[in-house]
Amino acid sequence: MRAEFNTTCDLINGPSAASPGVVRESGPCRFVAELYEVFETYPFDTRAGYLTLDFSIPNGPPDPGTGGLLTFDWGFADRVAIPSGATPLFTVLFVEVVNYLSHPVYYRAHLAPDWF
């Protein structure tokens, strides 16, 4: 079970979105900093931590299906500002849906330092 939300965050459209830089959603969340490297493959080895939230589904980079990690279109990934109203410092790498027994569904967005 997840810990309580202890901050707020903004999900901001990436630079390739139809409305780049626009705050798409804001709400309560919890940021957990990465204390050790779990992944050894780029770009996942750049993970700064993860964000838990339940007010919206964060957008990760879509894969056009050409194969390989470098084919992800990072321009469509959400930028994340923590707390709400701050400068976005993170980019969404990928998102997990956590649906554990009778607990409410929430999302875990894995974040990297913002590249844009």
Q: Domain for residue 2, yes or no?
A: no
Q: Domain for residue 1, yes or no?
A: no
Q: How many structural domains does the chain have?
A: 1
Q: For residue 114, what pLDDT is reported?
A: 84
pLDDT tens digits, one per residue of 58-93: 998 876 665 555 566 788 899 999 999 999 999 998
Q: For residue 89, what pLDDT is reported?
A: 94
| pTM given for the model | 0.84
For residue 62, what are the CA distances in angstroms to 5, 73, 108?
27, 6, 17
Q: Domain for residue 16, yes or no?
A: yes
Q: Domain for residue 34, yes or no?
A: yes
Q: Domain for residue 90, yes or no?
A: yes
Instruction: For the chain, list the strands marked E by DSSP.
Output: 7-12, 23-33, 49-53, 79-81, 90-98, 106-113
pLDDT tens digits, one per residue of 25-69: 999 999 998 776 666 666 666 778 899 999 999 998 876 665 555
Q: Domain for residue 91, yes or no?
A: yes
Residue-number span of the structural domain to which 24 is assigned? 7-113
